[in-house]
């Protein structure tokens, strides 16, 4: 047949495998009509059922609502709604995100964030059957942006833990080795992203519960400025530190997800009312940063595996023209003690509502009110939650409030001022994210102090309310296997300094390449 008579076959670009795609790629393919949001959601749900089950990463899959959401997304794509107009923002951001910024993108959400139609358990027997009557603000914003919520992820009970082992539903397993912890308390969200089940996930942070699992699993994990993301619909643990925080596999995906969820919310009294810059367009920058190295962070006994990765990151950034300065944060060694007075104190107050009367678990067959309270809380809470409730009740009790809680609150303010003064000299602060790579499940479970010290590098910025990010930069050999374990590098920025964090993450991402 002459060449001129051969029917022309339309050019079809290479279609990457779903698990290799970034969230930004998925959204662009869906909005261009080159992929169906329904097909993507079915792949994600199938992976959640298989891989997610193997990792114990999910508590609940949201299949019915997910398929309804993708049907809406595909309908909007056909109608041209995600191309022809800009998104209507309710977040107070000065720079709008294009409509459908997360069109068809599967996302997993930690199971302490309220979502109607499905249980929000907080990884606890106490809330095993609780179905919230409203959606969290972040859930509304995700759905408005076209994201598809495929499931609620496993977590340490009431976000109290650093290994995702205290869950009533069993421990989460590391995506590289089922004998290892993925970190906590947002371990289910981290494992789901690292295994490729979803490209994005939400966790929550109180003292490192996103940055630590991000480091263990080789992800980008951001702790926003306190108040930058609405806490409306987040089940409270430590209200003065809690933040909803994102995971992603690339700096760009992280910036897009944060842009969607950040911004003022009138329903949250702690929500900040200021504008947010355009985090996506600022990623490509030739800015040279002044970066502080706090000697106190390096005085801790770091794993011999972590130090070389951190030094390599510093060396790479120096070669790229960034400047490093020695700085001092002398109250760093007081941060863990301060956090583990303030957080349990607030937890004892917040968790007092779980009494068997209003909602959640209630012990059966008890007719005496006092005994019903006692048995409900004894049977409904796990050991770590009860430990922190008792500690918090003690430090708030008459005769001890001034000695412990009030003193801790004063030290917290001094830590905040230390960061404030440090940022008069430097743009960013670099530290390790964690003292070690991922440790074995069960290794620290019976030693609470050893578990608490896993957060020694993440807690100070949480107390100060300033933003911080864990950036994956290298891998190290596991102690007893041929595996290569991820290691993250942490950057801390001034109040509302997320733009600089996304920029340094993008810079380091390209240097790593």
Q: Catalytic amino acids? A: 110, 185, 209
- Is beta strand 243-248 parallel, antiparallel or unpaired with respect to 468-477? unpaired
Please tell me the distance from the alpha carbon of residue 341 to that of residue 337, in angstroms, as a whole number: 6
- Among candidates 254, 233, 239, 181, which has minimal Cα distance to 206? 239
Q: What is the CA radius of gyration of the chain?
A: 23
Contacts of 399 by beta carbon, 8 Å cutoff, 6+ apart: none
Instruction: Give the helix, strand, coil percentages of the chain, each rounded to 5.
Output: 40, 15, 45
Per the CB < 8 A criterion, the answer to whether 323 and 333 are in contact is: no
Instruction: Please count the residues of the chain.
Output: 513
CA pseudo-torsion sign 50, 144, 189, 492: positive
Contacts of 211 by beta carbon, 8 Å cutoff, 6+ apart: 205, 221, 222, 223, 433, 458, 468, 469, 470, 488, 490
Kindly state the tokens that stand for 244.
């909803």
Please tell me the distance from the alpha carbon of residue 105 to that of residue 490, in angstroms, as a whole number: 27
Give the CA count within 13 Å in the CB-facing half-sphere of 296: 16
- Among candidates 51, 62, 63, 60, which has minimal Cα distance to 191? 51
Helices (H), 159-279: 187-194, 211-217, 251-261
The residue ranges of DSSP E strands in 387-509, in sequence order, are 428-432, 468-477, 484-492
Phi, psi (rounded to 5 degrees) for 308: -60, -35
Kindly state the tokens that stand for 146.
């076209």
Per the CB < 8 A criterion, the answer to whether 142 and 149 are in contact is: yes
Kindly state the tokens that stand for 71.
């049907």
Per the CB < 8 A criterion, the answer to whether 193 and 199 are in contact is: yes
Please tell me the distance from the alpha carbon of residue 135 to that of residue 209, in angstroms, as a whole number: 22
User: 10 Å Cβ neighbour count for 264?
Assistant: 18
Give the distance from CA 123 to its chain's centroid: 16
Per the CB < 8 A criterion, the answer to whether 149 and 197 are in contact is: no
User: 10 Å Cβ neighbour count for 389?
Assistant: 23
User: 10 Å Cβ neighbour count for 137?
Assistant: 26
Please tell me the distance from the alpha carbon of residue 429 to that of residue 322, in angstroms, as a whole number: 12
DSSP letter assigned to residue 61: E
């Amino acid at each position: 047949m002459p060449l001129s008579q051969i029917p022309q076959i339309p050019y079809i670009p290479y279609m990457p495998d779903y698990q290799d795609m970034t969230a930004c790629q998925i959204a662009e393919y869906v909005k261009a009509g080159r992929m169906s949001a329904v097909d993507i959601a079915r792949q994600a749900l199938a992976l959640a059922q298989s891989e997610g089950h193997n990792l114990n990463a999910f508590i609940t899959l949201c299949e019915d609502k997910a398929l309804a959401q993708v049907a809406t997304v595909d309908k909007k794509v056909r109608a041209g709604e995600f191309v022809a107009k800009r998104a209507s923002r309710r977040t107070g951001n000065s720079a709008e995100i294009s409509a459908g910024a997360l069109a068809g993108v599967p996302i997993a959400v930690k199971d302490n964030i309220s979502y109607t139609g499905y249980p929000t358990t907080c990884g606890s027997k106490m809330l095993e059957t609780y179905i919230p009557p409203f959606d969290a603000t972040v859930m509304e914003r995700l759905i408005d942006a076209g994201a598809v919520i495929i499931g609620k992820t496993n977590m340490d009970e009431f976000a109290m833990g650093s290994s995702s082992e205290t869950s009533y539903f069993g421990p989460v397993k590391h995506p590289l080795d089922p004998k290892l912890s993925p970190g906590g308390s947002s371990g289910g969200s981290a494992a789901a992203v690292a295994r490729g089940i979803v490209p994005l996930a939400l966790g929550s942070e109180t003292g490192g519960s996103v940055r630590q699992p991000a480091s263990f699993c080789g992800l980008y994990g951001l702790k926003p400025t306190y108040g930058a993301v609405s806490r409306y619909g987040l089940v409270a643990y430590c209200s003065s530190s809690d933040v909803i925080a994102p995971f992603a596999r690339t700096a760009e995906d992280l910036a897009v997800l944060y842009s969607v969820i950040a911004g003022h919310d009138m329903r949250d009294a702690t929500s900040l009312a200021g504008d947010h810059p355009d985090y996506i367009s600022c990623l490509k920058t030739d800015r040279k940063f002044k970066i502080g190295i706090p000697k106190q962070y390096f005085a801790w006994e770091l794993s011999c595996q972590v130090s070389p990765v951190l030094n390599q990151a510093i060396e790479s950034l120096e070669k790229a023209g960034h400047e490093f300065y020695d700085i001092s944060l002398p109250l760093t060694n007081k941060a863990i003690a301060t956090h583990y007075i303030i957080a349990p104190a607030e937890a004892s107050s917040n968790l007092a509502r779980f009494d068997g009367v209003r909602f959640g678990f209630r012990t059966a067959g008890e007719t005496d009110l006092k005994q019903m309270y006692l048995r409900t809380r004894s049977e409904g809470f796990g050991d770590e939650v009860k430990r922190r409730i008792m500690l918090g009740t003690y430090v708030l009790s008459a005769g001890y409030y001034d000695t412990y809680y009030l003193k801790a609150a004063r030290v917290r303010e001094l830590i905040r001022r230390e960061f404030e003064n440090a940022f008069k000299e430097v743009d960013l602060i670099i530290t390790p994210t964690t003292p070690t790579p991922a440790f074995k499940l069960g290794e620290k479970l019976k030693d609470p102090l050893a578990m608490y010290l896993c957060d020694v590098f993440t807690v100070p910025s949480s107390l100060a309310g300033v933003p911080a990010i864990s950036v994956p930069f290298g891998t190290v050999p596991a102690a007893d296997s041929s595996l290569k374990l991820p290691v993250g590098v942490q950057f801390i920025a001034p109040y509302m300094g997320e733009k600089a964090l996304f920029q340094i993450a993008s810079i380091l991402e390209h240097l790593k390449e």
